[in-house]
A and B are shown apart, each in its own frame.
Chain A
C-alpha cells in the first residue's frame, strides 16, 4: 500500500533520475563529442548509397525470353544545384522531347527533395549523350547514370509494364525499399508479381571525405549486397502465342486463350489489337498516350479479362447441366417443338434457325444449338437459381488469375431489373433470353475458357494462371495450382462431353468447321447479339484431347459474325498448329 505522499516522492525521484540520465547523454553528445559531430555534419562524411537489384526477367515455358533488362543511360537531376530554372527546362525540352509543363510539374512535386537525385529521363541514347556532353558542363544539377531498364520483346497484354513510381505508391511502399526514383510494375504480371520481381536493395557506405574517420566513429558494418529479383517462367508457349497473333484477322478485335486443362496453366493469352508495352517504359509523350486512348479499337483494353461480353450459345452447357442436375430434364426428355421459335405469353422468341428444329433432346439441342429447347427449359428455372448456378460454375465471377484488375462480368437479378426498368417489369422475358446467353449476362473470355477446361476435366475447375515457376539464386519454386469441383455430376459431365463432341464432329453440328481427324475436338459455338455493332460477337470454346484432354480454348471476335463460320475455323488453325508443336 502506498500513501499518497510516497507516490509523490517516488515519482519525483524516478522522473528526476531519468531526467539526469538523459541530460548526461546529451552532455556527452553535444559538449564532449560535439566538435566531432559538427565536423561530420559539415563534411557530411557518411552517405548511404542504395545499390539496386536487377529486376527478375520473364520467360515462356521453354525458357524463351519475353521481358528482359537492357542497359540504359538515365538522366538525374539534383534540385539544390539548379541555377537557372528556365534555361534548364529549355535545355531538357530541346534535347529530350519532354514537355516543359511535365518537367515543371516534376520539379514542383520534388521541391522539398533538394539534395536527392531525382530521375528525370530514362533511356537516353548513347548518341544523344555524346552529342550534349559538352553542354552538360553548364548544368551541374544534371548527371547521367548507367542503369538497367525493362525491355519487352513482344506486344501483348498479360505482361503489363513498369513505370516510374507515383507519389501515392511511394507513400505506401517507401518502407519496402522503394525510393522516389523507383521503377515499379504498373499493371499485368509486372504488377501482380512486383514483390517477387523486385528483389532486395543493397547498400554501400560512400565516403565523401577520404580520412575514414566517420567509419571509425560509428563502427557499423553497413554494407549489404543486393538480392536480384526472381525470374518468372510462365506456362505460356510463346511460339503458340505469336502464331495466334499472326493469324488473327487484322481488322477484328477479340481474344484467344489456350489453357492446359491438366494444371490450369495459360499457354496463350491473346487480346487483339495488342499494344507495345515498351511505350510506357521511360517517358510516354502525351501525343502517344492520346493516340492509344482515343483509338477506336481500344488497344489498351485487355479483352481476355477486362472486357466482358454476352456469351451467347457457349453459355448453353451451363443451362443444360443445371436442368440435368436439378432433375428438370433427363437425357431423353424432349422439350417444346421448335418451329423457328417459341410463343411465350404474348411474345414470340425466335430460334436462330428459321425453319425450326422440331422437338429435341438435350444432346441434340446442344449439337444444333437450338434456342427453343433452352427457352422452354428456362421456364422451369427461377432467375435466382440461374444466377446462383452460373456463379457456382465460376462464370460472372473473377477467376482469380494472376493478373491485375480482372472483371467479374455480370448476371442480373430481379432487383436489378426492378431498379433499372421499373417496378412492374416482367422477369420471364429477360430470363428466357438469359438462358441462351443473350441479354444482360456478361462474361470474360477467360471465364469461358476455364469453364470449358473444367468440362474437359469432368467438372474439376482449375484456377487459370500464367506463372509456371520462379527461379532465383536460391532455387526453383513451382506454382501450385488450385482446383475445386463444379456442381456437375459424373453422368452430366459425360453427357455434356458427348454433346460437345457431336456438335463438332457430326453432320450439321454447329462447330464442324473445327473438326480434325487426328484428335478429338469438343466445342460449342456462340453468336451473341450486342449493342456494340450490327454483327454478332463470334464465340467458339471447347477442348481438345489426344490420349486424354489436354488443352481448352476460347476464340472470341467482337462483332465478326457467327461463331460457327468465323471463330471455329480460326480455332481449327490454332489446334492444328498446337498439334504440330506439342510433340516437338
Chain B
C-alpha cells in the first residue's frame, strides 16, 4: 500500500474532490458557446483537469514524504517566493498588471506561492514557546510585510489582502492579547466607516471603547484610541475630496485594476443579471445565456460563480456553498485534534485564507464586495491558485496522519 488508508481524513478529501469536480463542469460550461444547436468549447476545462492531476500528485508526494523534509523546505520556499515576487515586477505587464511569469504554455503566479510560504513561516515562528508580546508583533510583521508590499505593487490587492488576513488570523490565536489586534484594525475600520454615516460611526466608537475597557486598558490609551479614530473618520473624506479626479481614479483603479471608469459597475451588473436570472432551478447546464453573449467578463476565472448561479439557480448555489461550509467546518474540527502548536497555526491560517477567498469571491459576484480579482478556491480556472490550495489541504491531511507519531 502506498498510503495507510485509515490515517487519511476521507471526509475532507471527498469534499475536496467534489469541489474540484464542480469546478471542471463549471469551467467547461463557462468556456462553451451555444450557437444554434451546436456547442463550441475552448479547452480551459482540459487544462484544469491536467492541473488537478498535477496537484493530486503533489498531494500524494506531501503525504508520502517525511514531515521533516517538508519542514526543511519552508524557509527556502519563502525566500524563493520573495525573489519571484521581485522578479515579476520587472517583467512585462500581462492584462495590465505584473502578476504572472510567462512560462509557456502556462503562467506562474508568484503571489500564490508567497501566500502559502508566508503562512508556513509565520506559523513556524509564532508557534515558538515563550514569546513576548512585542516579539510576536515584530516577527509577524517582519515576515508578512515584504510579500504584502511586493504583491501590492503588482498590483494585486486581492492576494495582498489575503496575506493580511492570514497574518491577522494567526495573531488572533497566538498568545497576543486581543486588544492589540483591535487597536491595529480600528483605524482601517474608521477609514471604511467614513464613507458611510455618522450614527454608524458613533456606534462603532462606543463598541470600540467598551471592548478596550473590558480588556482592562488604561483610560489614557482608550481615550487616545478614541480621539485618533474620530480624527481619521473626519479627515478621510476631507482628504479624499481634496484629491483631483484623476487622483481619486488612480486610487480606485488601484483597488480594482480591471476597472475602467465604467467597466466595474458594468461587470457587477452583468454578474447580478446572470445570477438573478437563474432563479430557483437555473437555466440548465450549458444553457446560460449571459455568458453566451460575452457579457460576463472573466467568466471561467473570477466570475465562475455567476455561471454556476445562472445555470444551476438557487439550489445549485446552496449546494456549492454548503460544500464549502462543510469543508471549512471539517478543517476547523481537524484543528482541534492537532496537538502540535505549529500544525494548528498552519491549519488555522489555511482555513482563514480559503474561507476569506471563498466569501470575498462570492460576495463580489453578488455585488456586495468590490471586485479585487480573487478567484474562487478549487473552482475558478487557474493553475497556480489550484496547485497552492490543494497543497494547503494536503498539508492538513498530512498533519492529521502524523499526529500519532508526534504526540
Contact = CB atoms under 8 A, between A and B. Distances in A.
Interface of A: 1-2, 4-5, 7-8, 11-12, 15-16, 18-19, 22-23, 25-27, 29-31, 33-38, 40-42, 44, 46, 48, 80, 111-116, 171-172, 174-177, 200-201, 203, 218, 220, 222, 224
7 contacts: A5-B336, A15-B332, A30-B314, A42-B289, A44-B293, A172-B93, A176-B260
Given A19-B321, A114-B292, A218 B269 contact: yes
A112 B33 contact: yes
B349 to A, nearest CB: 12
B273 to A, nearest CB: 5
B33 A41 contact: no
B285 interface: no
A30 B336 contact: no
Interface stretch (B46-54, B138-146, B197-205, B359-367): B359-367
Given A4-B344, A7-B336, A41-B274, A30 B366 contact: no
Interface string B279-295: 11000000001101110
Given A5-B336, A23-B318, A30-B280, A176 B96 contact: yes
Interface of B: 33, 35, 40, 42, 92-96, 172-173, 175, 257-258, 260-262, 265-266, 269, 272-280, 289-290, 292-294, 309, 313-314, 317-318, 321, 325, 328-329, 332-333, 335-336, 344, 348, 351, 355, 359, 362-363, 366, 368
Contacts of A200: 261
A7 B335 contact: yes
Contacts of A174: 95-96
Contacts of B260: 175-177, 201
Contacts of A12: 329, 332
A111 to B, nearest CB: 7
A31 B280 contact: yes
A175 B94 CA distance: 10
A36 B276 contact: yes
B35 A80 contact: yes
A175 B294 contact: no
B277 to A, nearest CB: 4
Contact of B173 (A2, A26, A42): A2
Closest 4 CB pairs of A and B: A37-B276, A175-B96, A41-B277, A34-B279
A8 B274 contact: no
A112 B276 contact: no
A393 to B, nearest CB: 30
Given A30-B275, A203-B262, 14 more contacts: A4-B335, A8-B335, A8-B336, A11-B328, A22-B321, A30-B313, A37-B275, A41-B274, A41-B289, A48-B262, A114-B33, A115-B293, A218-B269, A220-B265
A29 B272 contact: yes
Contacts of A22: 321, 359, 362-363, 366
A37 B40 CA distance: 26
A106 B257 CA distance: 30
B260 to A, nearest CB: 6
Contacts of A80: 35
Contacts of B336: 4-5, 7-8
B290 to A, nearest CB: 6
B307 to A, nearest CB: 13
- Which of A16, A19, A115, A174 has most B Cβ within 10 Å? A19
B359 A30 contact: no
B314 A112 contact: no
Contacts of A4: 335-336, 344
B314 A26 contact: yes
Given A23-B321, A29-B366, A175-B257, A115 B294 contact: yes
Contacts of A31: 279-280, 314
B332 A11 contact: yes
Contact of B275 (A15, A29, A172, A222): A29
Nearest to B31: A112
Nearest to B322: A19
A3 to B, nearest CB: 9
A8 B351 CA distance: 11
Contacts of A34: 276-280
Contact of B276 (A33, A48, A175): A33
Contacts of B279: 30-31, 34-35, 38
Contacts of A203: 261-262
B273 A25 contact: no
Nearest to B274: A41
Given A15-B325, A220-B269, A224-B262, A26 B309 contact: yes
A580 to B, nearest CB: 46
Contacts of A2: 172-173
Given A30-B309, A171-B95, A38 B277 contact: yes
Contacts of B42: 112
A184 to B, nearest CB: 16
B96 A222 contact: no
A29 B368 contact: no
A224 B261 contact: yes
Contacts of A5: 336
A372 to B, nearest CB: 50
B300 to A, nearest CB: 11
Contacts of B276: 29-30, 33-34, 36-38, 40-41
A154 B94 CA distance: 36
Contacts of A218: 269
Nearest to B290: A41
A222 B335 contact: no
Contacts of B313: 30
A16 to B, nearest CB: 7
A39 to B, nearest CB: 8
A203 B95 CA distance: 21
A16 B92 CA distance: 42
A248 B273 CA distance: 65
Nearest to B260: A177
A38 B288 CA distance: 11
A26 B314 CA distance: 7
- Which of B274, B317, B368 has most A Cβ within 10 Å? B317
Contacts of A35: 279
A37 B332 contact: no
A15 B355 contact: yes
Nearest to B351: A11
Nearest to A36: B276
A171 B102 CA distance: 14
A109 to B, nearest CB: 13
A27 to B, nearest CB: 7
A40 B93 contact: no
B269 A7 contact: no
